Amino acid sequence: MKLVPKLRKEKKVINLHGDELIDDYAWIKQKDWQSVLKDPSKLNGEVLKYIKEENDYKSDQLKDLTDLKNKIFNELKGRIKDKDSSVPIKDGAYSYYSKYLENSEYPQFLRIDGNNKEEVIFDANLKSKDFKFFNLSSVSHSHDHKYLAYNVDTNGSEHYDLSVEEIETKKVITKKIENTTGEIIWHPNNKIIFYTVLDNNHRPNKIFAHEIGSDPANDQLIYEEKDAAYFCSPSLSQSKNYLLIRTGDHQTSEYWFSQIEDFRNIKCFKKRKDREEYEIDHANGIFYILNNFNECKNFKISTASIEDINIWNDYIKYNPKHLLLDFTVLKNWFILFQRVDGLNQILIKSLENSEEHLIKFDDETYELSLSGQYEFDTDLIRISYSSPITPATVYDYNCKERKKILRKTQEIPSGYEKDNYVCKRVLVSAHDQEQVPLTIFFHKDTPLDGDAPLLLYGYGSYGITIPDSFSSNRFSLIDRGFVYAIAHIRGGREKGQEWYENGKLMNKKNTFLDFISCAEYLCNNQYTSKGKIIAQGGSAGGLLMGYISNERPDLFLGIIAQVPFVDICNTMLDEELPLTITEIPEWGDLKNNKKAYQYIKSYSPYDNVKKQNYPNMLITGGITDPRVTYWEMTKWIAKLRDCKTDNNLMMLDMNMDAGHSGASGRYDYLNEVALAYIFALKISNKATS
């Protein structure tokens, strides 16, 4: 039996706003942390030894479940169609798609011409064979179909290398442009690509133009963002007439634009103003602008002409009950993606006669998304649909005929019967009587008598909505008697912009209290009982996991905290970290605002660890993660171990070959899912099946 790992203490005190911020483990963040993210072998030897001891301890604690883990892995894999392909997307003379070969971790990218001749244009399996980690951010063909540009991260640090090849000959035209964000924008002349580079603190702040085949050292700087709180990215307008550059933080945005043939002559569309957000596109000679100006919190659509971009006219008028999320403009159609009553909708508006109609679905809860497309002069759009118990379905929708054309339904090779499962969406009264949406699904044979273990998932930050989409993985728990629930708590945009704003800054505790209210509802209505719930959340959802483990450990049997953002005070005081400055609008300015400091410190998971019993906990991390760095979860578990007064299971799983998103291969990733599930089954006393 491995001994419980122990990390030495070295007290560090930060004096701020008349208060002391004490950290006994700050020393494990080394000065050259940027180099560690790129090359983990540079990690301090003592810290590396400790992390290895944690990984070994985790393996030792779960060694009796090796067979079960393998069984669950095979279940997860068995629900994935091994030889699978996406639905081709038409672009002129070719249609482009991806395909997985038998037992492959990564896809091939292909195209097919009008004679049904199939051609492999990029094989990620071949490109990845020399790497333990391989994340392909983008694969983008030129408008004339002659060249292919792609971006690859080979260690999980989210530094991407950009290359360009000639499709027909596979000849490398541009070998490698290092340190990019993963975006690729092709100039319509097919000779130039636009890309974004990262500064020393991993912030995307410069956009360059590269002439393919030339020396990247000579690439021309097109735009530089001087404000460290703002990140920038390029795009090409739908009309292909304009280069667009967006810059912004979590609550403010600004666009720069230029005619594509004169892309060096870039100018501002509308100057940034705090808390004003807008997104633009150009088509049919008009600029379309999604914006929240004039107190339109849930956004409206305006239009402007190139002759006077300062005069905006309403195109889609403001409706406070409709959250406008995105739009696409085609030659004859305006496509609006919106959320109403917590559910996504697609509205189609004719540019010829202004007639409107909605694409409707009848399920109680579902996820609906609009896929990207290449062609402009078309009546077809691509949409994807699923629900927690409905496998993903891909449709082409004919805007003119108002008809859905089924293109693909997700296959579950090992078998799946939708009628065996029940899915509900309820509203839960929170501490302040706000109504929180809660999605619940389970096997029809699971008794709802309070005896079932339950996994409750939550996130609640950045305005990100957790979709009610299908995941075949969850059935490895549901088929073993688990109830599965998703709490759509404040901090997301499930119920509009105010739902987000009421779960951030000085309202952040609403996120945590909403989750607790959902947990209590599930107990009170006998979906489960107190002490039978396993909570799961990752990244900013890990902050949620940290709070509930400190404040309501009695409610939860276990916590699965994946790449958890738990050391919020120290992180938000460290302006060298990639996200700190740009995240001030999300969390608050601890350094310069005493009230913000006091409020954040009052809920910061790391700073509120105390002498008490804690739930069973599985904490995960990635050694090259630039978003939630390796020292956060390492410090946290060390402090938890020092304070916990129980014998519950507490483990750290640090992936030494990956970053924030975990393993990169489609099957490799399933090992991480299986780990979480055997932990849940072990502590629920269901690890025998």
- What residues are labeled active site? 539, 625, 660
Contact 371, 346 (CB under 8 A): no
Element (H, E) at 126: helix 124-128
Q: How far apart are CA 611 and CA 158, in angstroms?
A: 37
What is the crossing angle of helices 668-683 and 66-78, to 10°? 130
Q: How far apart are CA 667 and CA 618, in angstroms?
A: 21
Chain centroid, CA 552 distance in Å: 27
Closest Cα to residue 649, out of 678, 679, 608, 606?
A: 679
Q: Is 677 helix (H, G, I), strand (E, B) or coil?
A: helix
SS3 readout for 320-359: CCEEEEEEEECCCEEEEEEEECCEEEEEEEECCCCCEEEE
Which amino acid belongs to residue 590? L
Task: Tell me the backbone φ, ψ of residue 654, rounded to 5 degrees.
Answer: -105, 115
**How does DSSP classify residue 434?**
-
Residue with tokens 């990207």: 372
Residue with tokens 């001749």: 117
C-alpha pair distances (Å), 545 with each of 293, 556, 646: 35, 10, 18
**How does DSSP classify residue 492?**
B
Q: How far apart are CA 689 and CA 674, in angstroms?
A: 14
The count of residues in the chain is 689
- Across 77-88, b (16+ Cβ under 10 Å) vs e yields bebbeeebebee
Contact 170, 159 (CB under 8 A): no
Tokens representing residue 403 in the block: 């008809």
Closest Cα to residue 618, out of 679, 663, 567?
A: 679
- Which residues sit opposite 304 in a β-bridge? 287
Tokens representing residue 542 in the block: 């890990």
